[in-house]
Structure 1
Amino acid sequence: MAWRLGLRIEHPGTCAERMRAVVVPREFTVGVSLVLWAFGSWLIPLLVALGVWRHVRCRVPLRWE
């Protein structure tokens, strides 16, 4: 009935509120991705260095037992 009279009914799920809800998770996702990328970039050289240390310094063989 309201649409026949040309009335516009606003409710809590308006387009602006839905757009705001989409922006927050995207920023969170970008932030988490950046932190995980930085951690992974730091972790890979550390793991390689620990592997070299284990096999060269501690003389652990490179074969399965």
Structure 2
Amino acid sequence: MKELPVSSKIIKSVFFHPGDGRLYIRFKNGEERLFTGVPEEAALAMVEASSPGQHYIEHIRTRFERVA
């Protein structure tokens, strides 16, 4: 799993495993989320967005399976 650099008001860190599409997100409030089946392009689009937190809400949270 590799860490993806992110600058966000609500997201502290992002880790992505390109082999199986696991996306791990740690929020600044202490919450942690793990999603599966996430394409690398989707993970990169989130961390490169002008607002990664808003991008997460609109494009990741409801689109991919959350396992933790």
Output the TM-score relative to the length of structure 2: 0.21
> Whose strand fraction is larger, Structure 1's or Structure 2's?
2
Structure of greater relative contact order (alpha carbons < 8 Å, 6+ residues apart): 2
- Of Structure 1 and Structure 2, the greater helix share is in 1
Tell which structure's C-alpha radius of gyration is larger.
1
